[in-house]
Amino acid sequence: MATALPKAKLVIGDRQLDSGSRGTIEHINTTTGQAQGEIPLAGPSDVDAAVAAARAALPAWRDMKPFDRAVILQRFAAMVEDNAERFAKISVVENGIPRTSWAGMWPRIVGWTRYYAGWADKIEGLVTSTWPNDHFEYTVPEPYGVIAHIITWNAPMLSLAMKVPPSLAAGNTVVIKPAEFTPFSAQLFVELALEAGVPPGVINVVPGAVEAGEALVRNPGVDKISFTGGPVGARAIMRSAAETLKPCVFELGGKSANLVFPDADLAEVVPYSVGFAFSNSGQGCAIPTRAMVHEDIYDQFLEMAQATIEQLPYGDPANDDVLVGPMVNQVAYNRVQAMIEEARSSKAGRFLTGGQAVGETGHFVEPTLIADVDPNSEIAQKEVFGPVLCAFKFRTEDEAVELANATEYGLSAYVQTHDLDVAQRMVRRLHAGTVYVNQAGPAYSAGSPFGGLGNSGFGREGGKAGLEEFIRIKGVGMSIRV
């Protein structure tokens, strides 16, 4: 496994540095709990140098013919696709993503990278007025400039694919700050971009802790911030960004509800609900961690879900049959275990299975099902980000909607019914940025916008809306001599 990890570096302009101004930290293998390799940590001086490199590279990249930029990005997308196995091995060791979860993630990663490569030469302005005869007005789309991408640790490669390609397609340059313990996907991603012909300085990478992120946000050379993480981090970024009035786009946490109506086919719904809830070991923002089931089928759902969960294969994420791997690190493991124990001690619900630490090495948590959960409990309200599924019973549509919307989050929601009227009513009433009906998602389709409401963030990633996050519109009025 050790050979699957590239050497982590800072990438600043045309330089690749083995160490940062804040030294190095050990990378801990999530499966074994053992140290494996070193990660350089960027400090404020490194971040400032990366932003300066991005600004220096901006004019040439911005002014390149869009067709030429598209050719480079299409070549880059092909190289990403050709390196599927390298990225898979890195992800398994980097943060413990099971290969089964990766298999579902990978087509989306390739899709996002290819999709935005195709947009580079199709960005258009509009003629907005042609009256009177001696005057007309139009719009000019322009890149923001330098974009700071602060990416998540739970699926760094997916986060990169959702953020960086649209930024580059629009003519921006970027500085990427991976989480300090998961920089390896970004390292290979940038190496391939440079090999594909993206000029040095257009993409820069500064792995680092909170200090590096703060320096990036505060730097006046950064024009916009794109952040995937939690509400606490987002609020800190907004406070710092306010100093220079930087716009932000945030993709934050979730506590997604999965509403199962009595006409749903449980033979389909239960495997979907369980498999999805425990994919990537529960470490996903859009995962449906709250199963809200109609009272007529509630007991049957629980019986089937418990049996399915108790058969879930967990263990080494490198094994092709494992669905549930380890938590990303000791901190995450401790947090998940603490939330489970709090739910148990406060009698927040009825534990049907799981809830224990497993294994003598690594950061493994047993897949857990809790029934009859108190909607006001911590386990019902806060994002666990681990292998825990909470079940609730409802009687009416109104009660289902009230339960589903009773959190601070609003990222995704799921509806299982064959009644089109019910589905349409739920789509309109659920407080979520995206609603998926009948095992439809999340597809993370490159052509569809994805994002949240409330404490799940604002702005969109995906589709034309995701591209437009990195474009500014300039209005022009022009008089004509007639």
**pLDDT (mean) for 229-255:** 96
pLDDT tens by residue, 364-383: 999 999 999 999 999 999 99
Cα–Cα distance for residue pair 347/297, rounded to 1 Å: 24
Instruction: Map out the domains of the chain with their CATH numbers.
Output: 2-252+456-476 (3.40.605.10), 257-446 (3.40.309.10)
343-349 contacts, C-beta under 8 A, 24 or more apart: 343/370, 343/373, 343/377, 343/378, 343/379, 346/377, 346/378, 348/373, 348/374, 348/377, 348/378, 348/379, 348/380, 349/373, 349/374, 349/377, 349/379, 349/390, 349/391
Q: 150 forms bridges with which residues in the sheet? A: 177, 227
pLDDT tens by residue, 38-97: 999 999 999 999 999 999 999 999 999 999 999 999 999 999 999 999 999 999 999 899
41: Cβ–Cβ under 8 A, 6 or more apart, which residues? 20, 21, 22, 23, 24, 25, 180, 207, 208, 209, 212
Residue indicated by tokens 């932003």: 51
Cα–Cα distance for residue pair 295/313, rounded to 1 Å: 29
Residue 386 tokens read as: 């681990």
> Which amino acid would we find at residue 137?
E
pLDDT of residue 2: 45
pLDDT of residue 4: 55
Question: Are 290 and 258 within 8 A, CB to CB?
Answer: yes
Residue (of 398, 402, 381, 399) closest to 390 by Cα position: 381
Question: Are 202 and 13 within 8 A, CB to CB?
Answer: no
* pTM (predicted TM-score): 0.95
What residues are annotated to the active site? 251
DSSP characters for 135-187? EEEEEEEEE-SEEEEE--SSSHHHHHHHHHHHHHHTT-EEEEE--TT--HHHH
Question: Which of 5-9, 42-46, 199-203, 283-287 has the weakest average pLDDT?
Answer: 5-9
- For residue 467, the SS3 value is helix
**pLDDT (mean) for 119-130:** 94
Residue (of 26, 18, 118, 103) closest to 330 by Cα position: 26
- For residue 102, the SS3 value is helix
**pLDDT (mean) for 407-430:** 98
**pLDDT (mean) for 428-432:** 98
Cα–Cα distance for residue pair 86/75, rounded to 1 Å: 18
Residue indicated by tokens 């879900």: 305
